[in-house]
Amino acid sequence: MTVRQLTAIDRIIIEADKALTTIWGVPDTTSRPIPGAELAESELSASERRHSAALMRINDAGEVSAQALYQGQALTARLPDVRQAMEQAALEENDHLVWCQSRIVALGGRRSLLNPFWYAGSFALGALAGKVGDRWSLGFVAETERQVIEHLDEHLASISEHDLKSRAVIAQMKIDEAHHGSLALQAGGAPLPAPVKTLMGLMSKVMTRTSYWL
């Protein structure tokens, strides 16, 4: 059986479909259950509920960005095994996306209005990182995951101790992000220069602070 080679138009259509699904649809996942699904919904004050919803909106925006980052890197990765690793990581990040959306709905919140912007910017960064080389691309993943874990730790320290369902989601996300970062380093990821790490941190702060409100 002959397998048709994808054309440039095919790839554009595929990537456009992934973007639309990530931002507005329901993406494919690994079908893992939502962490904390067995827990009862906690009684939260109005301010606690708003704060939890805002933090989960930040996490959702971060997962939109992560999805775009991995898709961009998979598109330009040179080695097949690296491309496959990026695609698998993207699938697992979709779990997080669905989990965050579920909590946002349960808390009466909404997703970030800027998600299309976050996706476009992260996809461009991912594609650029893949073009530079797989070692740097993987190093970019490892540093991204390290910074994500820092944000998740801040959220665990900030979110109400009564919001057990959101805390369960964040805790599992933290475990997965650490795993992705470790895999990227094991696959040959190179440490990024300090100025690049600093720039990434500044961009991350802009996204998190903006997504808290928008």
Predicted confidence at residue 13, as pLDDT, reads 80
2: confidence class by pLDDT, cuts 50, 70, 90:
low
The whole-angstrom separation of Cα 175 and Cα 190 is 22
Predicted confidence at residue 181, as pLDDT, reads 86
Predicted confidence at residue 163, as pLDDT, reads 95
Predicted confidence at residue 157, as pLDDT, reads 94
Would you say residue 185 lies in a domain?
Answer: yes
Residue 78 main-chain phi, psi, to 5 deg:
-90, -35
Q: Is 43 annotated as a binding residue?
A: no
Residues in the chain, overall count: 214
- C-alpha R_g of the chain: 17
Number of C-alpha atoms within 13 angstroms, CB side, residue 14? Answer: 10
Would you say residue 199 lies in a domain?
Answer: yes
Cβ atoms of 159 and 103 within 8 Å: the answer is no
Percent of the chain past pLDDT 70, that is, above it, reads 90
Would you say residue 51 lies in a domain?
Answer: yes
Would you say residue 32 lies in a domain?
Answer: no
Would you say residue 71 lies in a domain?
Answer: yes
The whole-angstrom separation of Cα 43 and Cα 47 is 12
Place of tokens 């209005």: 113
Angle formed by the axes of helices 164-186 and 46-76, nearest 10°: 20
Q: Give the residue, 195 or 12, on which the prediction is more confident.
A: 195
Residue 136 belongs to domain with CATH number: 1.20.1260.10
Q: Is 151 annotated as a binding residue?
A: no
Q: Is 180 annotated as a binding residue?
A: yes
Q: Is 143 annotated as a binding residue?
A: no
Would you say residue 67 lies in a domain?
Answer: yes
What tokens were used for 187?
Answer: 């696959």
Largest CA distance in the chain: 61
| pLDDT surpasses 90 at 53 | yes
Q: Is 96 annotated as a binding residue?
A: yes
67: confidence class by pLDDT, cuts 50, 70, 90:
confident
Would you say residue 1 lies in a domain?
Answer: no
In tens, the pLDDT along 120-142 reads 888 888 788 777 777 887 888 88
Number of folded domains that form the chain: 1
In tens, the pLDDT along 75-118 reads 776 666 666 666 677 777 788 989 999 999 999 999 999 999 99
Q: Is 93 annotated as a binding residue?
A: yes
Would you say residue 37 lies in a domain?
Answer: no
Domain that holds residue 156: 15-22+42-213
Q: Nearest-CA neighbor of 35 among 129, 179, 141, 175?
A: 175
Predicted confidence at residue 82, as pLDDT, reads 63
What tokens were used for 158?
Answer: 């900030």
In tens, the pLDDT along 165-206 reads 999 999 999 998 898 888 888 878 888 888 888 888 888 888
Cβ atoms of 41 and 106 within 8 Å: the answer is yes
